[in-house]
Chain A
Amino acid sequence: MDQFVLNWIFIGASFALYIGIAIWARAGSTSEFYAAGRGVHPVLNGMATGADWMSAASFISMAGLIAFVGYDNSTFLMGWTGGYVLLALMLAPYLRKFGKFTVPEFIGDRFYSPTARLVAVICLIVASITYVIGQMTGVGVAFGRFLEVSNTTGLLIGAAVVFAYAVFGGMKGVTYTQVAQYVVLITAYTIPAIFISLELTGNPIPGLGLFGTEVSSGEPLLMKLDQLVTELGFAEYTTRNSDTLNMVLFTLSLMIGTAGLPHVIMRFFTVPTVAAARWSAGWALVFIALLYLTAPAVGAMARLNITNQFWPDGPQGEAVSVETIANDPDYNWMATWQKTGLLGWEDLNGDGKIQYYNDKSPDMQARAEANGWVGNELTKFDRDILVLANPEIANLPGWVIGLVAAGGLAAALSTAAGLLLAISSAVSHDLMKGQLTPNMSEANELLSARVAMAVAIAVATYLGLNPPGFAAQTVALAFGIAAASIFPALMMGIFSKRVNNTGAVAGMLVGLIVTVVYIFLHKGWFFIPGTNSYTDAAPLLFGIKSTSFGVIGAILNFATAILVSNATEEPPAEIQELVESVRIPRGAGAAAADH
């Protein structure tokens, strides 16, 4: 069957499933719209959290980031999973016991301060909007590549589907579609990985195959890969080439940022009990780990396959010829991806062969001179194509490619829906009901939540169609804000009875402002090129890169809040009682019944 038809079948079937769930799971009350009626089973919530969390970045980009860098980019693996330990041990059970609907609501109530709530709303909206742009452009690109429609049409179809289940179903609709999307995305991610691992190592579990023996050479796969890349002048794959300080700080920043992202935290409001929230965090990480344990294998094996394709006789032999690339079906993927502009090669020295090597390595420059090479002829290899092109590179059947297309879309759509829900609840519950029109009836709040959702989808679609030039860099901003403002406020709200309204607001503002300014000083003010005073190659403070700065912002937040609180009055007795009640699981059912 034609590949194009297969792609339509897989994507069409998965979308029909999401629409079916949307019709079934409509929200009838604000409790259903914001928290799925708090009736979600912990295992299902774990799956939904997995889909909510694993975005286009995890599904499409992460394996590519690891493949072309190796050990150093393990930071993403450790950081994006280690955050769940913080979330499970320090936030999720307590926020579930608190039993309200949004993250800013907890901050506002605990610090008895509408200002604190407003600061939290602003942080939430900025972090979530920067994050959602990437998801929407991802949807457009995936549609464009696999369905051969324009990116705009693809994006509009995706937005319409999200509209169907998020506007009518709220958290309830989003939860059950995310469960379905998790199943689609994990199947799509692991099936090609299993095929490739079997082919290369004979081991069906990619995470084990990565540390196994490569069948064709009889050598350990990682040793083979290290040999291959170093012979072409690239850095060794399995050892460290970056500095220790930034590796530690970047990993910590990703961990704290992950634990502070509101769209993930709010998923734990949907389970029935505190005990369920604890188990559910574990299940979430199980489902996330299935992809995160597989991704490093996907990266290493793809790097090996790609390098072997360019050097079919080994790195000391002849490079692949232009003719082979044009005619051999094994190389069809290259022509397909060249059309997208994300892959490029050019026979610079006109010898009819494509030499792929590191032209910045002195050893390779000597060899290049001896052989008449004038530079690396694989001129463009966008890291984002690795996962999507992987099944084609490994020559897997057409239905696997269709499945991967549906998986990539599921990852982007599920995360977009979670973010949009966080934004719309903050607008309708924290801004409208909380501050502007406190006397709004339940029916009106439900209506305003749906309107806020529709507007958020429209804004996200517009930004997806006209992405600001800085879209790719803003993920650092989202994690920086979550780490420096939201996580410390939540943690101190639970673990300290002494931190008061003034301290919390001062801490959040200091953490937020210092972090954002540090990022702007290195990346340009509002990411406008040329307006930066420093670069991440030569950063302002102690060699700390702006992407690793979130943890520093968090420390400043903690320090400011504690110092200011100790210099000002103790929180009132009823707030101290609130903290005590949040710390004790008994009564979580009653808290839910208030709504």
Chain B
Amino acid sequence: MSDKPQANAYWAANIRIVTWCLVIWAIVPFGFGILLEPVMPGFAFWVAQQGSILVFLAIIFFYAWRMNALDREHGVDEQ
């Protein structure tokens, strides 16, 4: 890629995607799995032992799919 504004737009879009993914990555285990345990103990136990792992999987596959699409939109994919 040659032009700078294009590179900056790609990087900004990447940062947005990573940020949203990390917000979910933090809320599910720490919020629902640990901090809200006194409020909903049974659900927190499920989140801590099963749910958060499933959410982590969903985040990584979403990220891979979305980023590979973003690479193509911005013309920076590996041909």
Contact of A74 with B49 in the complex, beta carbons under 8 Å: yes
Nearest CB in chain A to that of B58: its residue:
A282
Contact partner, A285, options B35, B48, B49, B56, Cβ 8 Å: B56
Q: Would you give 18 A-B contacts (Cβ < 8 Å), ordered by A?
A: A71-B49, A74-B49, A78-B52, A82-B52, A85-B22, A85-B59, A89-B21, A240-B34, A240-B37, A244-B35, A251-B34, A275-B71, A282-B60, A296-B49, A583-B7, A584-B7, A584-B76, A586-B1
Contact of B29 with A278 in the complex, beta carbons under 8 Å: no
Q: Answer whether residue A356 sits at the interface, using C-beta atoms and an 8 A cutoff.
A: no
Residues of B in contact with A (beta carbons under 8 Å apart): 1, 7, 10-11, 14, 18, 21-22, 25, 29-30, 33-35, 37-38, 41-42, 44-46, 48-50, 52-54, 56-57, 59-61, 63-64, 67-68, 71, 76-79
Give the dominant DSSP class at A's interface: helix
Which bucket holds chain A's interface residue count?
Answer: 35 or more
Q: Answer whether residue A247 sits at the interface, using C-beta atoms and an 8 A cutoff.
A: yes
Q: Roughly how many angstroms separate A292 CA and B54 CA in the complex, as a whole number?
A: 10
**Residues of B close to A588: CB separation below 8 A:** 78
**Residues of B close to A85: CB separation below 8 A:** 21-22, 25, 56, 59-60
Contact of A89 with B22 in the complex, beta carbons under 8 Å: yes
Contact of A274 with B60 in the complex, beta carbons under 8 Å: no
Contact partner, B11, options A248, A583, A587, Cβ 8 Å: A583
**Residues of B close to A419: CB separation below 8 A:** none
Most B C-beta atoms less than 10 A away, residue of A222, A240, A286: A240
Give the dominant DSSP class at B's interface: helix
Nearest CB in chain A to that of B1: its residue:
A584
- Say whether, besides A275-B71, A275-B77, A289-B53, A281 and B21 are in contact (CB < 8 Å): no
Q: Roughly how many angstroms separate A85 CA and B17 CA in the complex, as a whole number?
A: 13
Contact of A281 with B56 in the complex, beta carbons under 8 Å: no
Type the 1/0 row for A66-99, where 1 means its CB is closer than 8 Å to any CB of B: 1000010010011001101110111001000000
Nearest CB in chain A to that of B70: its residue:
A585
Nearest CB in chain B to that of A220: its residue:
B42
Contact of B60 with A292 in the complex, beta carbons under 8 Å: no
Contact partner, A244, options B34, B48, B64, Cβ 8 Å: B34
Most B C-beta atoms less than 10 A away, residue of A74, A88, A580, A583: A74
Q: Answer whether residue A211 sits at the interface, using C-beta atoms and an 8 A cutoff.
A: yes
Q: Roughly how many angstroms separate A81 CA and B29 CA in the complex, as a whole number?
A: 11
